[in-house]
Amino acid sequence: MDPIVRFDTYLFHIVNTGLTAGWLDSLMPYVTEKFNFLGAIIVASVLILILGKKKDRWGLLLLVFVVLSSDLLSNILKHLFMRIRPCNALDGVRLLAGCSHSYSFPSSHATNIFAAMVFLTARYRRFFPVFLTIAVTVAYSRVYVGVHYPLDVAGGAVFGSAVAITWFEADRRFTKVIVEYYRKKRGAVEQEQ
């Protein structure tokens, strides 16, 4: 395990102190702060509720459960692995955001954003490039600002994607069963008439 940790630390330093630029120093702290996007999320949600189709409103409700369950999973795993954040464990970290004393693996930001974006990709495949760009940018920002190791965000991406796929498949199969049930019920009613 030690070589993996050393390699992860090496990659962290490359991203955090090597691959930097002034414009990224301004952009990444903004991207990494989830509350900066709360207004856009609320507006999009209201538009979906008002203008969206039934399947879009159902998808919005499911998306809430996807993010909540991914957040719960990431917090359980953090307390299982108890990895200290780089900003608390390493010297020479370029810290561009607040450094929490919570555990580091997996990154909850990465887990949640990948859960949301993979779930949305499964429902709206044509927007895959946009969703992937958002997820990767948010995950990358966590390393860039100095609060997570690369493996923290990679683990978050894997766990979040798994949560999204699980919810998507459960919805697909559940919906299929319900549709089949009502189709049979309607057929039985028509035969009685």
Closest-CA residue to 31 (of 99, 96, 106):
96
Diameter of the chain measured on Cα atoms: 79
**Predicted TM-score (pTM) above 0.95:** no
* Residue in the structure block whose two tokens are 């991914």: 70
Q: Write out pLDDT tens, residues 145-155.
A: 999 999 999 99
One-letter amino acid of 150: P
Rounded Cα–Cα distance for residues 52 and 42 (Å)? 14
Task: List domains and CATH numbers for the chain.
Answer: 2-192 (1.20.144.10)
As a whole number of angstroms, the distance between CA 107 and CA 155 comes to 7
Q: Which residue has the tokens 């159902």?
A: 58
The pLDDT tens digits of the residues spanning 1-10 come to 699 999 999 9
